[in-house]
Structure 1
Amino acid sequence: MSTAPLGSRPGPATGHREAAADGREWVVDAGQVWAMGAGLVLLVVGALLGRPDAALLGVPAVLGSAWTLVSRPGGRVRVDARLAPSSDGLHALREAAPAPEGAGGSGVAGHGDVSRGDRLETVTAVQTLVAGGSLVARLDLHAPPGAGTVRVRAIRPGHRAAEAVVHVPLVRRVDVTATSVRTGAQPLFVVVHQGIGAGRRSQPGREDAGTVLVLPKPRRVARLPLPGRLRGLTGQHESRRPGSGGELRDVHPFQPGDSPRRVDWKVTARRSPRLEELYVRRTMALGEAVVTVVVDSRDDVGPDPATWSGYHAIRADDATSLDIARQAAASLAQGYLATGDRVGIEDLGVRRRAVRPGTGRRQLDRVLQQLAALRPEGEPPDRLRPPRVAAGALIYVLSTFLDPEAAVLARGWRRVGHTVVAVDVLPRLRLRGLDRRHRIALRMVRLERQDRLAELEASGVEVVRWVDEEAATAHLQRLSRLSHRRPVAGTREVGAGHQVAGRRTAGRSR
């Protein structure tokens, strides 16, 4: 049996075309036509030359080809593609090891023995977790009687296509996987399928699985810095304001409004033996932090500077700056929400994308959905005023800082007293293959960018480079230890009164 490339349409010289009862076309394989022709030639030659042995050689070929012409599959091949569900009922990306640097575009791969039809590949549009893993799809192959084999080819933009021939006894389920290091909305698979019967094959069919929204995977950060002031009367952080719920602040003479249960009788007996004055134990109040994560979605650049102009596509196995920003924002949001703090999201690119500060698991889901939906949308309008943030909020600005807008906003927030942390999400650059013109342009851009980051640090904004996650986590933990310290007598108050790395400062009361 001869085969043609999947997706090609056979011409008149390839075989005879007949329409199936349901309108789908099944084509007689060209090998069967040649077999019938050869059998007829042997029959004619054997009859003319009086050679029955030669004529008998042509009988099987003629009978087999004749059976193929009169019999055909009774339906069409159908493929149902969907995303494979995870164990918790959500659609998820299973974690996998990252691709080595410098490797080619990742391909779509099947699981198991393809000759047995165990696994292959494809997917439908659904929201998924988590980036940096394998996107698992599920194919339900339906073949009509008489067509026991289906050839399937899965194609995904930026990946190598995968093809397999699968034995399908009427219905067969196969799984498909493709590695992914990208987040956000992504095109999924296009599945081209073709049924193969006894001497026939169907016209190739095409199924488009649509797009999928890949959510960023948060990274656990043990400790995170706090803003200069905590809000509210509840929370898990000890404020510098007097109140209830925290550690001992001091012992003070009883005043109207103090609870009698707070009277410290030992101190009272020692300081006022005649009980002329009562002394109460005053504690620190508890509060919650308000954190606003500002993501700069105006550009999305990869590690290859040659692709920044937009004339060349970013490789599918390269994480972009927006992928890094989504992962960093998700990690920060998860860390603060886990301790009962309030987290909100602002987008510098599109004004309508804003998640108000909130708490709880549902807030984390909203944050992840919003982060996955961030993408550049044309030329962003100029902002007349910065995004609104709560008073005393801790602000994270996630940007590549390739232009001055994000840095200007960060310095403005710092001047009005906010604690600001600038998170640099520019990927680690790959300089191989750059010509002299690109290298000169890149050097100028990097010098301007370094000057912006230096100005941010000089204005009191902490700069954290997230491309190295281990170093970024250690930097945040160092800031956390400083921000959790109480004011030290004799130290100088700076801005909102927060303590930053490399500078020992005292803060006013939270």
Structure 2
Amino acid sequence: MTENWVPTRALGRTVLVTGLLLLLGVALGRVDLVLLAAPFAIGAAWHLRRTPRAAPEITITTAEEHIVEGGEVEAGLTVTNPEAIAYDLVVVRARTSPWLRLEQADRPFAITVPSDGWAAIDLPGEALRWGRQDVGPAAARAAACGGLLASRPQVTPARGVRVYPVTEPFNATEAMPAAAGLVGAHRSRRPGEGGELAGVRQFAPGDRLRRIDWRVSLRTRDLHVAYTLSDRDAEVLLLLDVLGEVGLPGGVRGSASVLDTTVRAAAAIAEHYLHRGDRVSMIEFGAQARRLRAASGRRQYLTVLEWLLDVRAEPDDAAFGVHHISSTALVVVLTPLVDPRAADMLAQLTQSGRYVVAVDTLPPDAAPPVRNQWTPLATRLWRVERENVLGRMREHGVPVVSWAGAGSLDLVLRDVARMASAPRGR
């Protein structure tokens, strides 16, 4: 007997019955009682002639592929028997995240494992919500030697499954307020190498010969060249308000909370601008104030998705400074505007001269973020007060638009670009 295996109740009853029959047979002088105890003693001795030493090993397997909300999840449990003795019965049970709908994962499994072999349990299912969801922990307990010995419960830690937010096609066709890079897809007002024709001027030292406009040159008897406007990239900063959670998350097919809307909108906006060659950065407006530096390309998009998996509601105090934000970046603030600190942050950004767009992420049927249930009249008054806050934000020059998927930011980006191109007074 080892520390990994303990006797079962069946072995205890066998020893008890055998001992009582032998004692009664000897005390009463009855041979039939001794003969009756013989099968119990011989059976126990036969099964215990070889006892296991090592405990069963259980592992959790998950697919490492790119899983999106609503996608299929392939998980499984594998029980390995390192002994030369077969397991009569192995009971396996695993706990899973409520946002992973795995088939038959809420009940125990009873399997047999041969000697020096293994047995697998498939747990196919569906991912319902973004985030780092867990499969496990899982526990296994085996019985051997005719059910006379049982292993101690063997527990394996949980294995994470990365579920990325689903992104609906987002498109913003308006020009960016400012472009600061050297290359990109946005038209700039600065002359340079680009695809937008700016005009024709006289040839000057340093101009390329392929830029000569021969039609104008032949007409004026002097060399003229066509010059273009440079194409520049822009920096888009996504600022996520994580001061609190409002609404009940219902998964990919249910209702969306504030964090659900925030994460999915951020993924869609980042995917759009990164696909166009722009640089995207992210900041959390919360206690941790996590930050993702600006970069471009597919690698940045994968980094953005990984970064969004760790978004959590943080109702603690938040410190924010605009000196960390580039003056030429387009700041898209994803906020439900239910915390006064969010309105102060937007006012601070606007007063500093940044290009700010506020995206309202509050669900239409959300209630105030309090523990006690409010009456319908109190909830209505809360919404009226919040509408007043939105109106004051718009009066102070902060464009606020509700998130509605593709095309949500077209009109507001047009206004911001028009304001950025207007001459500014000193």
Task: Pick closer, same or farther for the CA change 1:459–1:200 going to 2, 3 Å.
Answer: farther
User: Which amino acid in structure 2 is aligned with residue 426 of structure 1?
Assistant: L
Matches within 5 A, 1:396-411: 396-411=332-347
Q: Does 1:85 align with 2:85?
A: no
Cα deviation for residue 374 of structure 1 reads 3.1
Aligned residues of 1:153 and 1:193 also touching (Cα < 8 A): yes
Matches within 5 A, 1:227-306: 227-255=176-204, 257-270=206-219, 272=220, 275=221, 277-303=222-248
Q: Which runs of 5+ in 2 are unaligned?
A: 100-104
Kindly report structure 1 stretches of 4+ aligned residues shifted beyond 6 Å: 38-41, 54-62
Q: Which runs of 5+ in 1 are unaligned?
A: 1-19, 87-91, 94-129, 305-313, 485-492, 498-505
Residue among 336, 341, 347 paired with 2:284: 347
Match of 1:3 in 2: none
Cα deviation for residue 149 of structure 1 reads 2.8
Cα deviation for residue 396 of structure 1 reads 0.7
Cα deviation for residue 343 of structure 1 reads 0.9
The RMSD of aligned alpha carbons is 4.2
User: Which amino acid in structure 2 is aligned with residue 24 of structure 1?
Assistant: N
Query: Distance between the aligned counterparts of 1:222 and 1:353, measured in 2?
Result: 25
Query: Distance between the aligned counterparts of 1:135 and 1:483, measured in 2?
Result: 43
Query: Distance between the aligned counterparts of 1:436 and 1:229, measured in 2?
Result: 46
Matches within 5 A, 1:16-95: 20-21=1-2, 23-30=3-10, 33=13, 37=17, 64=43, 67-68=46-47, 72-86=51-65, 92-93=66-67
Aligned residues of 2:11 and 2:148 also touching (Cα < 8 A): no
Aligned residues of 2:242 and 2:313 also touching (Cα < 8 A): yes
Q: Does 1:474 align with 2:407?
A: yes
Q: Does 1:156 align with 2:96?
A: yes
Aligned residues: 405
User: Which amino acid in structure 2 is aligned with residue 404 of structure 1?
Assistant: P
Aligned residues of 1:344 and 1:355 also touching (Cα < 8 A): yes
Aligned residues of 1:330 and 1:368 also touching (Cα < 8 A): yes
Aligned residues of 2:170 and 2:268 also touching (Cα < 8 A): no
Cα deviation for residue 427 of structure 1 reads 4.1
Match of 2:102 in 1: none
- Describe the superposition over 1:134-153 as per-residue Cα deviations: whole angstroms up to 9, x where unpaired: 55434331234231431111
Residue among 349, 363, 383 paired with 2:300: 363
Query: Distance between the aligned counterparts of 2:121 and 2:74, measured in 1?
Result: 11
Cα deviation for residue 344 of structure 1 reads 0.9
Aligned residues of 1:220 and 1:334 also touching (Cα < 8 A): no
User: Which amino acid in structure 1 is aligned with residue 75 of structure 2?
Assistant: A
Task: Pick closer, same or farther for the CA change 1:82–1:436 going to 2, 3 Å.
Answer: closer
Secondary structure, in 3 states, of the residue corresponding to 2:269?
A: helix
Task: Pick closer, same or farther for the CA change 1:55–1:182 going to 2, 3 Å.
Answer: same
Cα deviation for residue 56 of structure 1 reads 9.8
Give me the identity figure in percent. Answer: 29
Cα deviation for residue 302 of structure 1 reads 3.6
Query: Distance between the aligned counterparts of 2:77 and 2:58, measured in 1?
Result: 7
Cα deviation for residue 187 of structure 1 reads 5.0
Task: Pick closer, same or farther for the CA change 1:318–1:165 going to 2, 3 Å.
Answer: farther
Cα deviation for residue 286 of structure 1 reads 0.7
Cα deviation for residue 154 of structure 1 reads 0.8
Secondary structure, in 3 states, of the residue corresponding to 1:235?
A: coil
- Describe the superposition over 1:153-173 as per-residue Cα deviations: whole angstroms up to 9, x where unpaired: 112365773321123223123
Cα deviation for residue 402 of structure 1 reads 0.9
TM-score, structure 2 length as denominator? 0.77
Secondary structure, in 3 states, of the residue corresponding to 2:75?
A: strand
Aligned residues of 1:303 and 1:428 also touching (Cα < 8 A): no
More strand by share: 2
Query: Distance between the aligned counterparts of 1:419 and 1:436, measured in 2?
Result: 38
Query: Distance between the aligned counterparts of 2:276 and 2:39, measured in 1?
Result: 79
Query: Distance between the aligned counterparts of 1:495 and 1:285, measured in 2?
Result: 21
Task: Pick closer, same or farther for the CA change 1:436–1:241 going to 2, 3 Å.
Answer: same
Task: Pick closer, same or farther for the CA change 1:301–1:138 going to 2, 3 Å.
Answer: same
Matches within 5 A, 1:365-384: 365-377=302-314, 379-383=316-320
Cα deviation for residue 62 of structure 1 reads 6.7
Aligned residues of 1:347 and 1:353 also touching (Cα < 8 A): yes
User: Which amino acid in structure 2 is aligned with residue 176 of structure 1?
Assistant: L
Residue among 398, 420, 423 paired with 1:496: 420
- Describe the superposition over 1:208-264 as per-residue Cα deviations: whole angstroms up to 9, x where unpaired: 424637353362635324421212332122223332221222233445554443221
Q: Does 1:207 align with 2:155?
A: yes
